Amino acid sequence: MQAVHPGWPRERQYTEEGMASADGTELPAAGVQAERGATCSEICRLSTCEYKGCHTERCFAELPEVKKALGPLIRSAKATAKSRIETRTPFSKEYVWVRSKLLGSGAFGDVYRCRRQDEDQYQYAVKEINIAAFGEVNTLRDIFREVEVLQELSSSNMCHVVEFVGFHRSHETAWIVLRLLPGQPLSKLIKGMRRVAENDRHAIVLRLATELLEMLSVSHLKGIAHGDLKPDNVFIDLQNCHRMTHVLDWGLACKHEPGSKVVILQGTLEYLAPEVVSGWIAKSKGAEPQPVCPSAADMWSAGCLLLEAYTSQSPFQMGWWRLATMQQCTGILKLQTNWAAGGKGAKKLESILSRCAPQAQTFFRGLLEYDPRQRLTASQALHHPYLSFGQSSSRKHD
């Protein structure tokens, strides 16, 4: 067994029954805790750097090779002082914002940084949504769903979810105020991590996987599936030893009874589960899409983004940006089907998986199981040996 990476909490170990700390004390596993009604923060308190004796000074941002490779991204994650170019927000006299520079943009709106009038630094992000531009009924429904989900998750102290602060709206515009997240989108870090030493990179992925699955194990038990898990919607703060990972953009979240099935017709194609892609294709042909398990669809998406973080290559990105959406759907579903059957179309994915350690391969195969009934749940994934204390995350060896 290899030595534990210095950036990984030393007193964390998942087992089938629970977690064992370094002093031998048995601690309930995240999935077990969630079933008993524990909040996400209570689960994460047992599995991150708040353990007694954990070397919190050895965060990833302080590791020499990580600092050298990702220095610009790490430095840009720090809070910024107030700008000279700022104006009062139209939704509240309490806030001012910088409209001249976008923090980000998406399908339904743009995001800007803002601060309270009595504060010196920008601690909030405002998502501005043009209601009229997207159709008032559908847009308002999506906005209210996101607000409702964020309120519920924030009230449950979900420590790996972007914190909800407030909601405002006028006749034509809506604004969602969120806590400004430090760090960078995982999509940016993935490109930079190609330059990071292998052991450091895989240790980061282990922490990412654990924190993401801890969050999903609780949200899924609450009947909330994210619906659009992808690297752009995961923020990573390598300077934070306690909470490195945050999930944002819950606009496509699906609330459902745990274990029930619903029709899903939204998401980002290359991260969608096969059963969801099949529904898209059925809908385009005038057929009735089959309902699917939203939590299981989330787990496929989680497998795609974690494998991409591990290998710096998206498993189902085909580069078909010139093709119509239904042609893309058909092509990706064919690749997913061939992957399940071990056909020729699975060569690319097998090539990507071959770069992973043996236990990592079984972990990703469990998440990317074609049959949603056989796919790992978040709680099961947390118990996988790949995430266990002291397991090697390096490439497979002879």
The confidence score (pLDDT) of residue 297 equals 96
- Spatial separation of the C-alpha atoms in residues 217 and 247, rounded to whole Å: 13
161-204 tens-digit pLDDT: 988 999 999 888 999 999 998 888 999 899 888 888 888 888 89
pLDDT for 247 = 94
pLDDT of residue 390: 37
pLDDT band per the 50, 70, 90 thresholds, residue 82: low
Alpha-carbon distance of 380 to 39, in angstroms, equals 18
How many Å apart are CA 67 and CA 200, to the nearest integer? Answer: 11
Name which of 165, 225, 188, 157 is nearest 77 in CA terms. Answer: 188
Among 81, 94, 157, residue whose Cα is nearest residue 123? 81
pLDDT of residue 203: 86
- Structure tokens belonging to residue 53: 């004796």
Give me the pLDDT at residue 340, please. 81
| 8 A C-beta contact, residue 391 and residue 359 | yes
Q: State which H helix or E strand residue 64 sits in.
A: helix 64-75
Among the four given CATH numbers 3.30.200.20, 3.30.390.50, 1.10.357.10, 1.10.150.20, the one describing domain 87-179:
3.30.200.20
Question: Taking 80 as the threshold, does the pLDDT of residue 325 lie above it?
Answer: no
**Any binding-site annotation on 127?**
yes
Say if CB 84 and CB 246 are below 8 A apart.
no
Dump strand ranges (E) for the chain: 18-20, 26-28, 87-88, 95-97, 104-105, 110-116, 124-130, 164-169, 173-179, 184-185, 224-225, 234-236, 245-247, 254-255
Please write the tens of the pLDDT for every residue from 139-153: 677 888 889 999 998
Handedness of CA 290, 145, 152, 206 (dihedral sign): positive
What are the residue ranges spanned by the domains of the chain? Answer: 18-72+184-387, 87-179
Query: In the structure encoding, which two tokens stand for residue 4, read together?
Result: 């534990």
CA distance 203 to 3: 12
> Residue 182, class by beta-carbon neighbours within 10 Å (0-12 exposed, 13-18 middle, 19+ buried)?
middle
User: In the predicted model, what is the mean pLDDT of residues 252-257?
Assistant: 90
Question: Is CATH 1.10.510.10 correct for 18-72+184-387?
Answer: yes
Q: Rounded to whole angstroms, how far apart are CA atoms 359 and 347?
A: 20
Looking at the DSSP assignment, which residues form a beta bridge with residue 168?
A: 175
Residues 368 and 79: their CA atoms lie apart, in Å, by 37
Helix (H/G/I), strand (E/B), else coil: 220: helix
* Amino acid of residue 250: W
Question: What digits encode the pLDDT tens for the residues 384-394?
Answer: 999 874 344 33
More confident residue, 216 or 347: 216
Q: How confident is the model at residue 320 (pLDDT cuts 50, 70, 90)?
A: low
Please tell me the distance from the alpha carbon of residue 90 to that of residue 97, in angstroms, as a whole number. 10
Question: What is the pLDDT of the chain when averaged over all its residues?
Answer: 78
Contact 298, 226 (CB under 8 A): yes
CA–CA–CA angle 6, 218, 376 (5° rounding): 75
pLDDT greater than 50 at residue 336:
yes
- Proportion of the chain in helix, strand, coil states, percent, rounded to 5: 40, 15, 45
Report how far residue 235's alpha carbon sits from residue 162's, in angstroms, rounded to the nearest whole number: 9
pLDDT above 70 (res 348): yes
* Of residues 46, 53, 51, 7, the one with CA closest to residue 382: 46
The structure tokens listed for 42 are 């209570």
Q: How far apart are the first and last CA of the chain?
A: 15
Q: What pLDDT, in 10s, does the model give residues 284-313?
A: 888 999 999 999 999 999 999 999 999 998
Q: Residue 345 — very low, low, confident or very high, per pLDDT cuts 50/70/90?
A: low
SS3 55: coil
Q: Answer whether 376's CB lies under 8 Å from 367's CB.
A: yes
